[in-house]
Amino acid sequence: MWRLEGYRFGFPSPPVCAKRVATRPKPVNFGLMAETCESCGGLEAGLTPVRRMYVIPETWESEHRQVVLPDAERWCFSCLSQYPHERLD
């Protein structure tokens, strides 16, 4: 029969001791915490307030138009560089 440092196979695993549970590392707070971008959901520290804009291209049946939503959102740098928007600065 195989042995492992005092434990035999078939025996229940040893209970978790309270001392080991109490010494687990705690989460670290770095002061400036990242916020969630409301467009992509990414975490970033500096978000910019904007209004989302939908650009509808011209077709045979309709004219070119832009629709700006009234609700303000907070976007990250990546979303600001890729999607049309109106800044609220």
The predicted-structure confidence for 73-86, as pLDDT tens digits, reads as follows 999 999 999 999 99
Is 0.85 surpassed by the pTM of this model? no
3-state class (DSSP) for residue 72: strand
The dihedral over CA atoms of 68, 73, 40, 48, expressed in degrees to the nearest 10, equals 110
**The two structure tokens encoding residue 28:** 């670290």
The predicted-structure confidence for 14-56, as pLDDT tens digits, reads as follows 555 545 555 556 655 555 567 899 999 888 888 999 999 999 9
Per the structure, the count of domains in the chain is 1
Spatial distance between the Cα atoms of 54 and 66, rounded to a whole number of angstroms: 6
Residue numbers of the domain that contains 21: 3-87
Q: What is the pLDDT of residue 8?
A: 54
The pairing of beta strand 35-36 with beta strand 43-44 = antiparallel
